[in-house]
Structure 1
C-alpha cells in the first residue's frame, strides 16, 4: 500500500484491507494495521477463501465496527491537519 493510498483512505473514512508486497509497504501496513488499527491484513495472502473472509470481518463483524470507529476518529485528526496552519 502506498502512502498516498493510505492517506486517501483515511481522509475518506474507508477501512482498508492490506496485502503489502515489498519495500516500504511492509512498514506502512504494520503501522496502519497494528498502530492505527484501521486495516485488516490478508493473513494468508490472496488465497481464494481469504479475501471474502476478510471482507466479511470488515463489513459485518465486531472487528470491522471497531475499525470503522477508529477510521472516523482519524478523519477528524486528518481534517485538522489539512486546515490552515495545520501540520
Structure 2
C-alpha cells in the first residue's frame, strides 16, 4: 500500500508539471481518497473516531510537505514541486 509521501510525490508530479501551485485541500483529498479505508481501520483499531484520525492525517500531510525539500509552499496553503524535481 502507498504511503502519504508516495501519494504526495505522485500527485505533485501529475498536477504541477509546469510548477503551478495546487491547494492543500486538493492534495489532501487525493491522499484521503487513497488511504481512507486504511484510516477507517486504524480508527476502529485504536477506538477513535474517523474524524480524529483525519485531523491527525491532515497534520501529518502538511508536515511532510513542509519538511520534504521536494515541495515548495507559497505561504497561502498552496504547494508545488521545487524546481528540478519534476523530470
**Same fold by TM (over 0.5)?**
no
TM-score range, shorter chain: 0.3 to 0.5
State the TM-score, normalizing by the size of structure 2: 0.34
